[in-house]
Amino acid sequence: MQERIAAVRAQAIAAVRAAQSLDELEQVRIRFTGKKGELTQLLRGMGQVPPEERPAVGRLVNEARDEVEAALAARQQELTALALEARLKAEAVDVTLPGWAPVLGRRHPLTQVLDEIKRVFVGLGFQVVEGPEIETDWYNFEALNIPPDHPARDLQDTFFITEDILLRTQTSPVQIRVMQAQQPPVRVIAPGKVFRVDADVTHSPMFHQVEGLYVDEGVTFGELKGTLSIMARELFGKRPVRFRPSYFPFTEPSAEMDIQCIICNGAGCRVCKHEGWLEILGSGMVHPQVLRNVGYDPEKVSGFAFGMGVERIAMLAYGIDDIRLFFENDIRFLRQF
């Protein structure tokens, strides 16, 4: 029995020293000191040892077990240190190498144009206001003098969620909400996303608008022309502008504003359809019925409103001929701005 104990101890010590990884060492532990290990089995076999020999044999088995466990612990420390050293060596960083230059982002061209539009109108005393992109039919149409049977609804190509809930087709509902919340004077611009069922090189189902409103006592069409002329000069430089009669349900009289073609300088080209002019926005005096819808007295106050597409302004400012480029996130396109 003593020879067997000595042989198992020697095998265990040799196996511990031969282990080259923590996984191998764990297998050695299980083999010799686990629940079914060889040293454990020797202790469980003490019943077969003569009574007078049991104390001496038990002492030898326990000494062997203690020696093997001490060897296991020492080898575990060695292997852990070796594993850490190998990991540090594998993950070493050469601090003498040049660092990576951070890639700086750019503001999107639409953001740049929108910020410029805001700058111009804030300088003219307008406040920037925002509103919900999901609107009711009343705010998006009826309050703006567009009843259910009005033909202008067909031109909007609206995304309806329910019969009464929709994705706004313009930011004019924000103007209605502002007028409901305060009495004149009101001088605001409402930038934001709008949605229409339309998609081609010059139209997108989601695009951005900036609509403006000024309501007070004695507001005239002359103030409308002056305000928009200043805006055009700030955005496009000293370039001729003109106003053409038009029609919008929520303004009367109404006008569209054109600037001289930035491509041909008025000579006529494919971009301006050989007319020499490019439309940039619609405008007009706020319809009396719209004022009544928000509780204003059209006999006491008047106002003007206008609306422009940010994408259209950006396309004209940068000479871009496809609106889809703004939303494709092509880094080669965005880097130009």
CA 119, chain centre distance (Å):
24
Q: Can you tell me the mean pLDDT for 37-46?
A: 71
Query: Could you give the number of structural domains in the chain?
Result: 2
> What is the spatial distance between Cα 140 and Cα 175, in angstroms, rounded to a whole number?
10
DSSP H stretches of helix in 124-197: 137-140, 152-156, 172-181
Lowest mean pLDDT, pick from 90-104, 201-215, 232-246, 250-264: 90-104
**Do residue 78 and residue 207 come from a single domain?**
no
Torsion angle of the four alpha carbons 124, 127, 132, 136, in this order, in degrees rounded to the nearest 10: -70
Q: Give the pLDDT of residue 136.
A: 95
- DSSP conformation class of 98: P
**Residue 304 forms part of a structural domain:** yes
> What is the spatial distance between Cα 117 and Cα 119, in angstroms, rounded to a whole number?
5
> What is the spatial distance between Cα 100 and Cα 174, in angstroms, rounded to a whole number?
46
> What is the spatial distance between Cα 145 and Cα 293, in angstroms, rounded to a whole number?
9
**Residue 99 forms part of a structural domain:** no
**Residue 103 forms part of a structural domain:** no
Q: Give the pLDDT of residue 125.
A: 94
pLDDT band at residue 53 using 50, 70 and 90 as cut-offs: low
pTM for the model stands at 0.66
**Do residue 204 and residue 247 come from a single domain?**
yes
Q: Parallel, antiparallel, or unpaired for β 302-309 and 277-286?
A: antiparallel
**Do residue 116 and residue 218 come from a single domain?**
yes
Backbone angles phi, psi at 213, to 5 degrees: -150, 135
Q: Which domain holds residue 271?
A: 109-334
**Do residue 201 and residue 296 come from a single domain?**
yes
DSSP letters for 39-87: HHHHHHGGGGS-GGGHHHHHHHHHHHHHHHHHHHHHHHHHHHHHHHHHH
CA distances from 263 to 74, 233, 249, 308 (A): 83, 16, 32, 20
Picking from 32, 56, 90, the residue at the C-terminal end of a domain is: 90
For residues 223 and 214, the answer to whether their CB atoms sit within 8 Å is: yes
Edge-to-edge strand order for the sheet containing 206-216? 127-128, 186-195, 206-216, 302-309, 277-286, 251-260, 241-248
**Do residue 15 and residue 113 come from a single domain?**
no
Picking from 90, 123, 157, the residue at the C-terminal end of a domain is: 90
**Residue 104 forms part of a structural domain:** no
Tens of pLDDT, residue by residue over 244-259, are: 999 999 999 999 999 9
DSSP letters for 237-263: -S--EEEEEEEETTEEEEEEEEEE-TT
Single-letter amino acid, residue 273:
K
For residues 206 and 192, the answer to whether their CB atoms sit within 8 Å is: no
pLDDT band at residue 128 using 50, 70 and 90 as cut-offs: very high
Percentage of the chain modeled with pLDDT above 70 = 94
Backbone angles phi, psi at 259, to 5 degrees: -120, 155
